[in-house]
Amino acid sequence: MRHIAVIGSGPAGYYTAEACQKQFGDEVRIDIIDRLPVPFGLIRTGVAPDHQSIKAVSRRYEQVALSDNVRFVGNVSVGEDVSIEELAALYDAVVLATGAPADRPLGISGEDLPGVVGSAAFVGWYNGHPDFADLDPPLSSGEFAVIGNGNVALDVARILAKTIAEFESSDIVAHALEALRLAPTRHITIVGRRGPHQIGMTPKELGELGHLERARPTVDAADLPPEEADAALDPGQRKSVGHLRSFATLGGNGGDKPVTVSFDFFAKPVAVEGDGKVERLIVERTRLDDSGAAVGTGETYAIPCGMVIAAIGYKTAPIPGVPFDDKLGRFANEEGRVAPGLYAVGWARRGPTGTIGTNRPDGFMIAETIAADQPEPAGKKGRPGLDALLASRGVDAVTFRDWQKIDAAEIGRARSGAPREKFVAVSDMLGARG
């Protein structure tokens, strides 16, 4: 029997398990280990709570989880409860599918002021990640600067901009819903260091911004390249830029809607200022050089705000004993190989870009790599070995059956119209197992 441990139960983890099932058939046992007592990683705590159709992909992972040769082992932290070396001794292959859960620093002065928050923390807060339950973001000024021109910046801006009624069929957690209800939100500025043609926002997500109840997007037409230049873009990007063009024709400052979401392009953050808390973001106007990089012009201006959310990309969290590439913010690897018997997939392998589906080919590639590296299993202990180790340390591991009870309890306590009310504290998740 071949034993494989996958660390991380998000998309990359489940696609890897599915691929290994297909690759090795009945001759494999796969343990999916997660630090949290609940599965699905970014599907649960990263995908926006008002994007339930995207979250529905977890049903596919459920089918994998319920098959005989796959097991979920939750509430087990690799690097604390069990080391990489111990897993390597127990399993033929250990696959790191831990994603990129940490914020990259902005690297500008004032970034330590209270009120500067990374998107991993802010998204984790409204999505009920236990690590960020106590974030208490300062929403009271009603003015926000969101740095970055990717889909995460868009998610953050939209969540800030929506009315409470617009969250009806979402699974946003109660503490965030209440804080957003009390927030006097007026102005959200999305800050991009480059221009409209360089955005990382996809058309469907950008289009949503034009249909919000109380908020209206604005773009300064002067920032848009001549329309004929759009012909050189790929069709998706052209559609996204088309949305920006339509936002520019709306003009004005909010019109009949009380909240504005304005796009400030060619604006590179250079400092956060304020007296003991965030009061403004200072940006430098930029132009693009021949390589498409943003170059400062020396001209600066201030964006008044009480909170800055940096949505500028993520990095993987290092694990003791695993080679790490500090510059790229992910595990050091050659096409997924980290060390003999140790592999990386998904964002932990290639960095934080791509959609959920991008992880599927990753999983299949790594299954083939494992098969090529290890034609025959080495007779390792696998599951019974892990169970004995965890029991000897008093680790309270959570099974998929346990998760199904937690799941049912979350669905049972949902507010009217909502798909679930997530438990946020690990103790509450564990308690819901009955």
Compute how many residues bind ligand NAP; rule: CB under 6 A.
Answer: 25
Binders of ligand NAP among residues 184 to 203 (CB under 6 A) are: 192-194, 198, 200, 202
Q: How far is the CB of 153 from ligand NAP (least distance, A)?
A: 6
DSSP string, 301-324: EEEE-SEEEE-S-EEPPP-TTS-E
Does position 313 interact with ligand NAP (CB under 6 A)? The reply is yes
CA dihedral over 70, 72, 73, 79, signed as positive or negative: positive
Q: How far apart are CA 9 and CA 40, in angstroms?
A: 5
Both tokens assigned to 88? 């390597």
Does position 312 interact with ligand NAP (CB under 6 A)? The reply is yes
Q: How far is the CB of 316 from ligand NAP (least distance, A)?
A: 13
Q: How far is the CB of 128 from ligand NAP (least distance, A)?
A: 17
Both tokens assigned to 175? 């503490």
8-to-5, 16, 291, 325, 341 alpha-carbon distances in Å? 10, 10, 37, 19, 17
Nearer to ligand NAP, 3 or 44 (CB): 44
Binders of ligand NAP among residues 75 to 134 (CB under 6 A) are: 106
Q: How far apart are CA 152 and CA 206, in angstroms?
A: 11
CA dihedral over 104, 108, 112, 116, signed as positive or negative: negative
Cβ neighbours for 162, distance < 8 A, ≥ 6 positions apart: 50, 180, 212, 213, 214, 215
Nearer to ligand NAP, 162 or 193 (CB): 193
Q: How far is the CB of 43 from ligand NAP (least distance, A)?
A: 11
Nearer to ligand NAP, 87 or 159 (CB): 159
Nearer to ligand NAP, 96 or 147 (CB): 147
Does position 52 interact with ligand NAP (CB under 6 A)? The reply is no
Please identify which residue in 8, 150, 346, 363 interacts with ligand NAP, judged by CB under 6 A: 150
Please identify which residue in 28, 152, 278, 319 interacts with ligand NAP, judged by CB under 6 A: 152
Q: How far is the CB of 343 from ligand NAP (least distance, A)?
A: 22
Q: Where are the alpha helices (DSSP H) in 235-316?
A: 235-250
Q: How far is the CB of 333 from ligand NAP (least distance, A)?
A: 19
Nearer to ligand NAP, 129 or 194 (CB): 194
Nearer to ligand NAP, 24 or 144 (CB): 144
Torsion of CA 106, 112, 116, 122, to 10 degrees: 90
Nearer to ligand NAP, 77 or 202 (CB): 202
Nearer to ligand NAP, 69 or 359 (CB): 359
Three-state helix/strand/coil letters over 326-356? CCCCEECCECCEEECCEEECCHHHHCCCCCH
Both tokens assigned to 334? 């050659």
Q: How far is the CB of 149 from ligand NAP (least distance, A)?
A: 3
Q: How far is the CB of 362 from ligand NAP (least distance, A)?
A: 14
Residue 413: CB atoms within 10 A of its CB come to 14
Identity of the amino acid at 103:
D
Does position 151 interact with ligand NAP (CB under 6 A)? The reply is yes
Nearer to ligand NAP, 118 or 377 (CB): 118
Q: Which residue is nearest to ligand NAP (CB)?
A: 150
Nearer to ligand NAP, 278 or 389 (CB): 278
Binders of ligand NAP among residues 205 to 264 (CB under 6 A) are: 205
> Is 315 within 8 Å of 330 (Cβ atoms)?
yes
Does position 300 interact with ligand NAP (CB under 6 A)? The reply is no
Please identify which residue in 142, 258, 321, 354 interacts with ligand NAP, judged by CB under 6 A: 354
Both tokens assigned to 296? 């400062």
DSSP string, 67-117: STTEEEEBS--BTTTB-HHHHHHH-SEEEE-----EEPP--SBTTTSTTEE
| Residues binding ligand NAP (CB under 6 A) | 106, 147-153, 155, 192-194, 198, 200, 202, 205, 269, 311-314, 352-355
